[in-house]
Structures are given as C-alpha cells and as structure tokens.
Structure 1
Amino acid sequence: MTTPEPVPRRVRVTSPRTSAARRTTAHTGTREIDEQTRVGEVYMNSLIQSQLRLALAVIAGATVALGGLPLLFLLVPATRTFAIFGVPLPWVLLGVAVYPVVYVAARIYVRQAERIETEFTEFVGRK
C-alpha cells in the first residue's frame, strides 16, 4: 500500500508594490455628472440644448408643412374646388395627408434624438 502524497500548501502571491500609492482614477464625464460638478453641469446643458434645438426644428418643419396648406388654398383657388374621388382636396389634405406628415416628423425626431444621446454617451464615457 502506498502512502498518499501530501497536498501542497497554498501559496499567496502578492505584488512587491502593495504598499505603493494607488493610482487615482481619471475623472470621467459620467462621474462629473454624477457628482454635479460645474463640468457635469456644462455637459448636461449641452445635451439639453441639443435636444431643444432638434425639437424646435422638427416643430418648425411640421408647422411650415401643415400651416402652408391654408396658404395654398388661399393662393391657388383651383385647390379649393378640386376633388379626388368626389372628396374635396382640402378635406383630403387636412383629413388624411396630415397623419403621414406628423408620423414622419415624429420618426425624424426620435431618430435624431437617439443619435444625439448616443453621441453624448460616447463623448461623456471617453472623457
């Protein structure tokens, strides 16, 4: 019968620099925002301003597209009497065509807002 081999003792391996000073972590943009520093405030204000500019641009575009319809009816009298399948053109434009315009404006807004937020996240994460 053979004797069992002794189990080797566990050895702890440590760095000779354990007593060295720890590195300070770089201030990231997210940390600046979390700590509500002046830099973090500037970051957040820039994000809010970008989103506000986008919202105003989309609202202005939709307003021009939809608000221009009454002007079209006023300046081009033939549009008031023109009919599509027996339905007057103003009714078709105001009752049906408005919805695709609003939908496209909303899609543009959402896509651009996501792009702004993605760029902001990448920028803040890098700093």
Structure 2
Amino acid sequence: MMKLNGAQILLGLTGAMFVVVGAIYLIDPPLMYSLYGEPLSGANAYHLVRTSAGGPLLVSGAALLCGAFKAGFRRHALWINLVMLSAFVLGRAWSLLADGPTPSMILRVEIVPEMVLALLTVYYLRRRTSIMSQDASERFRDTGR
C-alpha cells in the first residue's frame, strides 16, 4: 500500500475540492451562486462565472491531483496551490475591505480555511526545498567532488 506524505494529502484534498467546485461552476453556475444567496441569470453572467471560476478551478485542481501522485510534479503543484489560494485570500480580503461584510456567512468563513491551506502549502514548499537541498548536497558528496 502506498504511504502518502502531508504534501500529497494537502494536494489531493485541495485538488479534489477544486475539481468538484470547478465542475459545478462549469455545469450549473446558478447552483453555486444560490449558496451565497445571490441570483445569477443570463448568458453573459454564466460566461463570466464559467471562465473566471469554473475553468481555472477545474484545471488547477487537476494539476494539484497530478502533483499529489507524481513526485516530479509535486513542487509545481504546490506552487499552483499557493497561487490559487493566495488569489482567493486576496480577493476575499479586498472584498471585505471594499464592500464590507457580506450577508452570506459562507463568504465570511471561507477565508479562514483558505489561509490555513495556503500556510500549509508554504510549509511544504519550504520543507521540500530543504529536502531537495539535502539530496543535492548528498549527491554532490557521493560523486567525490
């Protein structure tokens, strides 16, 4: 049985979440907006939601899942995860400052897990960099240079 490390679990869970949410935004944008108590109607609105949320989330989620199971892609996937989560945190924080608190509780609490996941991603990026540096120095020592 394959043993998963923390980075793999983080990428797998975040990737699966992105894929599911992205697919829902692509397939049924009004459903996602109804969770926030906002109506969504019209081809232009659907187009904007599908292109700004559905597609990017689905593709990013697929990349994260690849990184969860392909060691050679893991560092890239961690960076993708950090970029996506940071974008969500920035957008939510700016919206809270610019627009004030929202009536939907979901929007107010989503920022917390996104910040935690972003911080975990930074931790695993730093840890992987440290491990990669140790591996490189060991390889350098083993060659007798």
Task: Assess same fold via TM > 0.5.
Answer: no
Give the alignment's TM-score, normalised by structure 1: 0.35
Structure in which a larger fraction of residues adopt helix: 2
